[in-house]
Structure 1
Amino acid sequence: MKIIAFGASTSFNSINKALATYTANLVDGAEVEVLDLNDFPVPLFSEDTEKEVGRPDGAQAYFAKLESADAFVISLAEHNGTYTAAYKNLFDWASRINQQMFAHKPVVYLSTSPGPGGAQSVLAQAVGSAAFFHAEVKASVSVPSFYDVFNMETGEVTDAEIAQKLADAAASLKA
């Protein structure tokens, strides 16, 4: 099973990328490829830009990665209660290639933040709209107060309850 994992953020020290990487690697025997959204540059989406430039290379490369996967672990950063602008823009471009971009493949949606909210608003948005993009949501987990429950030096979850929720979410990809 090939899992594509990424944090929906362009931060070089993304806590969401760390969470997605950790969770995807819990799937025994999986080949995990971790994406960095910075590797998929695209202009700001608009129909006018699309008419002018067609489908940008960054969107095509991102979409090709989605096609190559058997499953996904996506951890969503939250900016002002919603998706980060960079992720939403890339997502919009990819949906123009094929709105059914997840092709009925299993997805685990995660979210985290340094604060107690755990980016629950954006997680709810992603889960709520998943069917439009043919994502088969197997699990969703919000991780509040990231730095209190995750050791960035070791890459390990230090909270047993959250570790179990993430392990269960990862296991759902094989179910």
Structure 2
Amino acid sequence: MNYVLAFAGSNSSISINYKLVKYTSSLISGTEVRLRNMAKYPFPMYSYDVEKENGYSNSLVEFKNEISNAKGLIIAVSEHNSYPSAYFKNTMDWLSRLDSKFLVDKKILLMSTSTGGRGAIGALEVAEKMITRFQGTVVETFSLPRYGDNFDENTGITNADLAKIHSEKVSSFVKAIS
């Protein structure tokens, strides 16, 4: 448990939440951060029939083990119609079938971003409830509104006030996992 696992709850190849997670990961020093691009994890839509017929994929078991062995998680959830993406929910469904306590004792920095002014806050709130149900501990949350106005892929968060808040949240998370 010497690493932090970081990923976005999106399977989009152009996910802005993945870009936020990638940037956030780059700010952490002194601890290995394993960044996972979930676009490379094509989990089928969960159903009992699929589970019964096919069991659990190797990639799902490996991902669950990575979560179990991490000392903390950085997750950014994307928002679709005020809720986390179906992909994120589906991933949580599969993981919980492997182990309903797959997040027990995990300290989590939970984030979201969107192109709108609310910064995917609806998805963030729902995801936080979901994570705590599986016994994860959300140490900090951060929402970045208006991604296109407040984020640059080369420099990160461009709004000074939001950058300061983000930095404080990252520092608090790092302290919690130390």
Given the two structures, how large is their TM-score scaled by the length of structure 2?
A: 0.91
Q: Which residue does the alignment assign to 2:163? A: 163
Does the residue aligned with 1:5 lie in a helix, a strand or coil? Answer: strand
Does the residue aligned with 1:140 lie in a helix, a strand or coil? Answer: strand
How far apart in 2 are the matches of 1:29 and 1:160?
A: 25
Unaligned runs of 5+ in 2: none
How far apart in 2 are the matches of 1:136 and 1:164?
A: 23
Q: Which residue does the alignment assign to 2:36? A: 35
Higher mean C-alpha deviation, range 87-96 or range 126-135: 126-135
Contact 1:115 1:146 in 2 (8 A): yes
Residue 101 of structure 1 and its aligned partner are, at CA, apart by 1.3
What letter corresponds to residue 129 of structure 1 in structure 2? M
How far apart in 2 are the matches of 1:27 and 1:142?
A: 18
Contact 1:111 1:143 in 2 (8 A): yes
Does the residue aligned with 2:80 lie in a helix, a strand or coil? Answer: coil
Q: Which residue does the alignment assign to 2:52? A: 51
How far apart in 1 are the matches of 2:29 and 2:118?
A: 30
Given the two structures, how large is their TM-score scaled by the length of structure 1?
A: 0.93
1:150 aligns with 2:137: no
Does the residue aligned with 1:55 lie in a helix, a strand or coil? Answer: coil
How far apart in 2 are the matches of 1:58 and 1:93?
A: 11
The within-5 A match list for 1:121-132 is 121-132=122-133
How far apart in 2 are the matches of 1:48 and 1:91?
A: 17
Contact 2:73 2:109 in 1 (8 A): yes
Q: Relative to 1, partners in 2 of residues 1:31 and 1:70: Cα closer, same or farther, differing over 3 Å?
A: same
What letter corresponds to residue 86 of structure 2 in structure 1? A
Contact 1:106 1:138 in 2 (8 A): yes
Q: Which residue does the alignment assign to 1:99? A: 100
Residue 155 of structure 1 and its aligned partner are, at CA, apart by 4.2
Q: Which residue does the alignment assign to 2:119? A: 118
Contact 1:99 1:132 in 2 (8 A): no
How far apart in 1 are the matches of 2:5 and 2:121?
A: 22
Does the residue aligned with 1:62 lie in a helix, a strand or coil? Answer: helix
Number of aligned residue pairs: give it.
174
Does the residue aligned with 1:167 lie in a helix, a strand or coil? Answer: helix
Contact 1:77 1:111 in 2 (8 A): yes
Q: Which residue does the alignment assign to 1:20? A: 21
Taking every aligned residue pair, what percent have the same amino acid on both sides?
A: 32
Residue 36 of structure 1 and its aligned partner are, at CA, apart by 1.1
Contact 2:11 2:41 in 1 (8 A): no
Unaligned runs of 5+ in 1: none
How far apart in 2 are the matches of 1:168 and 1:28?
A: 15
